[in-house]
Amino acid sequence: MLKRLFALGIAAAVIVFDQLSKSWIMQHFQPGGAQRVTDFFDLVYARNTGAAFSLFADQPGWQRIFFIAIALLASAVILVLLQRKSLSLMARIGLGLVLGGALANVFDRLTLGYVVDFLWFHIQQYGWPAFNVADSAIVLGAAFLIFDGMKTTPHHTPNTKTTVDRPSDEVTRCD
């Protein structure tokens, strides 16, 4: 029970941090606004009606309900997975991060009709599409899950005696 609550606590923290950061951006920026922070990073206010990296943002509107449904389905699957007692700590952290990120973006889609993105990394005018804390949590959570899946676990081998055929010490001469 405590292990599951730990993952749900991570999800809740992601949602709170994500929503607070988006609220701050919406209060201090106009849509499309930007503030340079470094030569390679800007804070921006982007309204994303599409999926990750604005995929399908130019579609007529079907994507909002579709992405809400996908995120809710993924969240339900994660909640079922969190019931497993055999999950490692790394898997629980990963699932908590993905759950929090998915639900934070669902909240945006339900309340605003779009997701607020505000982190933009770039080299001059060329850059990675803007993203947010929820997106970062999803990617980090996926990395935790991949790393957890790559861990090798010792395999149980039956206690068997191994024999090795050795060549005879005796030398046979052929004349």
Which residues are catalytic, by number?
A: 117, 135
Is 117 in a helix, a strand, or coil? strand
In this structure, the dihedral spanned by the alpha carbons of residues 50, 55, 59 and 65, taken in order and rounded to 10 degrees, is -40
Q: In the beta sheet, which residues pair with residue 47?
A: 116
Contact between residue 69 and residue 109 where contact means Cβ atoms under 8 Å apart: no
Phi and psi at 158, nearest 5°, equal: -65, 150
